[in-house]
Amino acid sequence: MMEELSAKKFKSDDHSEEMVIMVTGGRGLVGMGLKVEVERVPSDKERWIFLTSADGDLSDMAATRVLFEKHKPTHVIHLAAMVGGLFKNMKYKLDFLRKNLQINDCVLQCCYEYKVKKCISCLSTCIFPDKTTYPIDETMIHNGPPHDSNFGYAYAKRLIDIQNKAYHEQYGCHFTSVIPTNIFGPHDNYDLNDSHVIPGLIHKCYLAKKNGEPLTVLGTGNALRQFLYSKDLGKLLIWTLRNYEEIDPIILSVGEEDEVSIKEVARMIAEAMDFKGEVVHDTSKSDGQYKKTASNAKLKKYLPDFQFTPIKQAIQESVDWFVDNFEIARK
């Protein structure tokens, strides 16, 4: 079977038949943002399958093959990963490395074995070198080690780019990747210990308002980030699926001029929550990497007129979703 498959050259531009798009991690933040957009602008030439962790263990090759055999996808958007916030990444570096290496290897190998025409994996800006010049771009991924705070997750994600190129050069597979900046939006993970910064602050602000307590922000609040609304990312993933033909990755991000500090984000969340209490900073906690400014010049060449949702509007919508769905939100 492997020898037979090795001679197969994959073509991602053959859309004469129905596209069956299987999304791993379909219940997560990015998967839900993608699903909202798919349902908003449906296509009769596409059938979408959103998998969750309950469907099968993607770190197990046999279980992953069962899913591919069942759904027979022509295209895959690979979002599934072991994820967490800064402090979880710092504590469980080996777990993040091993689990994500296993997941990625199973998914990509099955994409090859089952002749998937195109696979798009989701990376992260944390894969870029810690010591670098700014803005970072797609050519700089492997120029040095990532920041020490999350090197396990970062290296596992970085190696997807290596695997994509190896599968393409050896077998002609069309495997590529996107690199979104810091994603947030409805359906996020709001766990107070393991979440990323915006959902964590939304949950803490909700509780602070409810209990009449200060909102405590971990770190100085001076770290800078480019935040990407999950609904915007959903639109960009669909564009990538239908139009992006490179093997090399592409950064999906707001512009450099839209970078904001954690302190500003905390203020916007407090305003969106109508929180009138004090905002304090616990400076004994790490800020993590101070900045990782990414260039979206490549994206703008392809989509010069794409309009991102203004961050204040996106935060307001995210806060409103959390308040309205507090009982069922992941936390």
Q: What is the mean pLDDT of residues 171-185?
A: 97
Q: Which residue has the higher pLDDT, 118 or 44?
A: 118
Asked whether 299 and 250 are in contact (CB, 8 A), the reply is yes
Q: Which residues contact 293 (CB under 8 A, 6 or more apart)?
A: 134, 135, 136, 224, 226, 256, 259
Residue 141 scores a pLDDT above 80: yes
Q: How far apart are CA 283 and CA 221, in angstroms?
A: 9
Q: Which residues contact 70 (CB under 8 A, 6 or more apart)?
A: none
Return mean pLDDT, the chain. Answer: 92
Q: How far apart are CA 125 and CA 43, in angstroms?
A: 31
Q: How far apart are CA 117 and CA 15, in angstroms?
A: 10
| Confidence at residue 195, expressed as pLDDT on a 0 to 100 scale | 81
Q: Which of 32, 48, 8 is nearest to 242 (CA)?
A: 48
Is residue 155 part of the annotated active site? The answer reads: no
Active-site residue identified among 92, 114, 153, 190? 153
What is the Cα gyration radius of the chain? 20
- Domain ranges for the chain: 2-184+227-256, 197-225+258-292+310-323
CATH class belonging to 2-184+227-256: alpha beta
Per-residue pLDDT tens over the stretch 73-132: 999 999 999 887 777 877 889 999 999 999 999 999 999 999 999 999 999 988 999 889
Work out the pLDDT band at 42, boundaries 50, 70, 90: confident
Q: Which of 225, 242, 129 is nearest to 183 (CA)?
A: 225
User: Can you give the pTM of this predicted structure?
Assistant: 0.90
Fold adopted by 197-225+258-292+310-323: UDP-galactose 4-epimerase; domain 1 (3.90.25)
Residue 178 scores a pLDDT above 60: yes
